[in-house]
Amino acid sequence: MYQQISGTDLMVSRIVYGCMTLPVDPRAALNALRAALDCGITMFDHADVYQRGAAEAMFAAIWRDEPGLRQRIVLQSKCGIRQAGDPTAQDPKRYDLSREHILRAVEGSLQRLATDYLDILVLHRPDALVEPDEVAEAFTRLTAAGKVRYFGVSNHNGAQIELLRRAIGAPLIVNQLQFSVLHSHLVNAGIITNQNDPPHAVRGDGTLEYCRAHDITIQAWSPLARGQVSGHLPADADERTRRTAALVAELAAQHRVAPEAIVLAWVLRHPARMQAVIGTTDPARIAACVAALGVTLSREEWYRLFTTGRGVEIR
């Protein structure tokens, strides 16, 4: 159920609780967080833009109910996305990994989370105007002040990570990337190498292999594919999604678990030893997700799900 993030002293749950959709009702939020803790989840993922900071502030209420919890969990937050209208009306939505914004964003997150430090700070999106030396300076200041222990990225490819690594001189320990049975581009990019007719655009570019080679833990976001194949099939779902949902239901019956467990077991079966970031607030679904840790899919089951979710047989 747990694994150590390479290059750190952080022992973390393989299932991460994502706080993007924490309920605005304090009691509902605390119930969801307690359900995650009761299931053995020890890592919680935030971002300064989640509900415009309200998710971080809501989370801080748990310190009052769970004394000593801060030392028992791993707290991660992200920065780098700036919304339209921030700070003036004409400002567009943009990415900002400038030194000033990183430092300001961390201060804001620490204040809202009511904590002195983040275990991991993640750069949320690649900034086209990034100056790696500025990122390095921000990281150095945050480390020296004891405000951030480790650093990572999200939605970055291998080349973008390498550019940052050369300036920072310290490891980037995680990369949070979208990955699910319906969004398997990270794997598909390697499967279709040197083929003429890929089923869809390549969106991987060796990022999966880069992270494995450099001991960067991949955190799969949206691993449940918004529940589309685990009980919330959209009325307008395409044939690929319908077939995948049917296969998930078949395997769930065989393994005697909920569909959520099969969908997450597919992600966790990959030898990269990914983490899966879930966001459900339903205690029963949280438990169903954690049950994935007790499911080991065979190679044949994994490939059945891969090819069905992909929509095209592999060659």
Spatial separation of the C-alpha atoms in residues 315 and 172, rounded to whole Å = 35
Q: Which two tokens stand for residue 100?
A: 């000033």
Q: Are 295 and 265 in contact (CB under 8 A)?
A: yes
Q: Which residue has the tokens 């400038």?
A: 98
The catalytic residue among 50, 95, 150, 210 is 50
Query: Which DSSP helix (H) or strand (E) runs through 57?
Result: helix 54-59
Q: Which amino acid is at 286?
A: I
Q: What share of the chain is helix, strand, coil (3-state, %, to 5)?
A: 45, 15, 40
Sequence-distant (≥ 6) Cβ neighbours of residue 145 within 8 angstroms? none
Query: Which DSSP helix (H) or strand (E) runs through 149?
Result: strand 148-154
Q: Is 50 a catalytic residue?
A: yes
Cα–Cα separations (whole angstroms), residue 133 to 128, 137, 245 = 14, 6, 46
Q: Which residue has the tokens 């620490």?
A: 110
Q: Which residue has the tokens 């970031």?
A: 277
Sequence-distant (≥ 6) Cβ neighbours of residue 276 within 8 angstroms? 14, 15, 16, 219, 220, 223, 264, 267, 268, 289, 292
Spatial separation of the C-alpha atoms in residues 163 and 302, rounded to whole Å = 34
| Active site (catalytic) residues | 50
